[in-house]
A and B are shown apart, each in its own frame.
Chain A
C-alpha cells in the first residue's frame, strides 16, 4: 500500500523551526500525498509560513509548554492525535528533545522506533537507511508490524527545499493529563556565546581533540577557524573533559556537519566522531599517530605534532 500520510515533528528554535525539521518536511513531501507538521511553543502561528513552504498543509500545535520539558507533553499530545487517525509514519529529528519525544511516544503507542536514520525510500512501505560501523556499512531496515512507524532521522540526511506551498493551517491540539511523568521543569536556560558562522552551516569547520593536550590549546582552533571564516568544532572527548561547551561537539551525539573543508587537529577518529563529519567534501587531518582512523578518510593527512603545525598554519594564513 502506498504511503498516504506522514507527520513531521517540527522543532521550534529561538528563531523559527529547526533546519533538520525542514529537511524532514522536504523528504516527506516526496514520499507521501499528505504531509502535516506537529509543533509547539509560543510561535507556531508565525512558523506556519515556513512549515507550509516546506510542504506541510497543516500544523498540529501543542501550544506553549511553559517551563515543561517538551518530551512528555508533546509525545502525549501526538499519541492522542494518533488515536483519532494514524499516519503511516512519524518523522522526528535526531536531537535531545526529538529523542525524548520518540521514546515517550514509542512506549505510549507500543510501537518500535528506528533511530539514526540517514535515508528513507518507499519500496512497498518505508525502508530506512542507516550508516553503521563508522559508516563502513549501510544497513536497510523496515517495520514489520502495525503502524505508525516512528523514525528518528539524523540532520543533513536530506536537503531542505521550499516547495512554494501556502502557510500551513494551524490546528490546536491538547495535552492529556500526564501525571507524574510530566513533572520535569526547566528553571533556567543558559546559552553560550558564539561568534562567526554556526557549526551547522559553516563552509569550513576546524575541530580539535584530545591531541591538543590541554584546554588552553583550543584557543588555536578558534583562532584558525576565525582566520578561515569557519566554525570551531570539537571531539566528544574534549567536550566531556569540560574544555569546550557541548554546542561545539561534532559526531554521533553532537552535530552532523558537511562543510566544504573539515580540518581535524589531534582527533584520532573514533566511530562516534566520523559519523558526524564523514560527509564533508574535503578532509584534512593532523595527528601524531600514523595509525589514527581519521587518516583513512582524510584527503590530506599530516603525521605530526599539532603544537607545531597549528601555530605555523596560523602564521602562514596571517601573512597571506
Chain B
C-alpha cells in the first residue's frame, strides 16, 4: 500500500512569531522545521505500510523557498521520498490555493491513502485536507484518533463532541489524524544518514500548471488591520509556601464563586 503524507515546514513554534510588513502574513523567512503535528501522520503511514507488507510512504509539501530541513526529518523517520513544490510565487497562498498545489503534486505520485494532520501549528486553518479531497474527488474522514486498513476499507475512530464515531471509507481516501493517533518514533542515526540521499523532487508552480491561481493574488483575501489585543495583565503570582490552597479559597470567595 502506498501512502502519501502531506507535511508542512513551519517557523519554529518555540521562536517568537512575527508578521511580514506589507502583507501581514506570517513571516516564514527564517529556518523552517517539520510541523510537530505532521510527525503523527508520518508515523501512522509507516505503520500502515508495514502492516500491509509492502508499498512506500511519500511526503508531499509546499514552501515559498527550497527549504528541505523539515522533509529530511520525516525522511529520517522512514518515508521513502518527497515531492516539494517550491516557488517564490507561492508566498501568501491561502488554504484553498495550498490544496490546489498539493492536489496537483499528489497526482504525480502513486497513492492508495492520503494522510494529513487535522491542522497546521502555524496557520491552523484546518480546511486544506478536505479541500484537497474535494479537488481529487476523494472521500475524507477528519479528526481520526485511530486508523486501520482492512483490505480496501479504512476504519477510523473519529473524534466527536460527544465521544467518537466509527467511520468506514473505501480507498483511495484522505484521512486527517490527531496527535493521539500514534506515538511518533525518533529518527535513528541510521535513518538520519539514509535521509540525506533520499530523493526530494522539486516542482514549480509552472510545472503544475497553476500560474495565477496561487500566491497573494490567488488568495482573494487580505489583512486590512493588525492591532495589539486588549491584553490581560498578570495578577498576583506567588510561590506556594504551604498556603497555596488557602489563597485559592480566598480568591474564590472574593469573586463569589463559593
Using a CB–CB cutoff of 8 Å, the interface residues on chain A facing chain B are 13-14, 69, 71-72, 75, 95-96, 99-100, 102-104, 106-108, 110-116, 127, 131, 133, 135-145, 152, 179-192, 203-204, 228, 236, 239-242, 245-247, 252-253, 260-261, 263, 271-272, 278, 281-284, 286, 290, 295-305, 308-309, 312-313, 315-317, 320
Q: Is the CB of B96 within 8 A of A188?
A: no
Q: Is the CB of B24 within 8 A of A139?
A: yes
With a cutoff of 8 Å between Cβ atoms, the chain B residues found around residue A115 in the complex are 95, 124-127
The verdict on B229 contacting chain A, using a C-beta distance below 8 Å, is yes
With a cutoff of 8 Å between Cβ atoms, the chain B residues found around residue A103 in the complex are 95, 127-131, 133-134
Choose one: A96, A138, A181, A241; the contact of B134 (CB below 8 Å): A181
Using a CB–CB cutoff of 8 Å, the interface residues on chain B facing chain A are 13, 17, 19, 24, 94-96, 99, 118-119, 121, 124-135, 137-143, 145, 158-170, 173, 178-180, 219-229, 231-232, 234-240, 242, 244-249, 251-252, 255, 257-258
Choose one: A96, A99, A135; the contact of B159 (CB below 8 Å): A96
CB distance from A139 to the nearest CB of B (A): 5
A300 vs B125: C-alpha distance in the bound complex, in angstroms?
A: 33
With a cutoff of 8 Å between Cβ atoms, the chain B residues found around residue A191 in the complex are 162-163
With a cutoff of 8 Å between Cβ atoms, the chain A residues found around residue B19 in the complex are 137
A212 vs B257: C-alpha distance in the bound complex, in angstroms?
A: 24
* Majority secondary structure of chain A interface residues (helix, strand, loop or mixed): mixed
B230 to A, closest residue via Cβ: A138
Q: Is the CB of A107 within 8 A of B135?
A: yes
With a cutoff of 8 Å between Cβ atoms, the chain A residues found around residue B231 in the complex are 136
A318 vs B244: C-alpha distance in the bound complex, in angstroms?
A: 16
A145 vs B246: C-alpha distance in the bound complex, in angstroms?
A: 57
Q: Is the CB of B240 within 8 A of A240?
A: no
With a cutoff of 8 Å between Cβ atoms, the chain B residues found around residue A100 in the complex are 130, 140, 142
A180 vs B137: C-alpha distance in the bound complex, in angstroms?
A: 7
With a cutoff of 8 Å between Cβ atoms, the chain B residues found around residue A182 in the complex are 139
Choose one: A152, A299, A309; the contact of B127 (CB below 8 Å): A152
With a cutoff of 8 Å between Cβ atoms, the chain A residues found around residue B17 in the complex are 133
Known: A106-B131, A184-B169, A240-B178. A14 touches B125 (CB 8 A): no
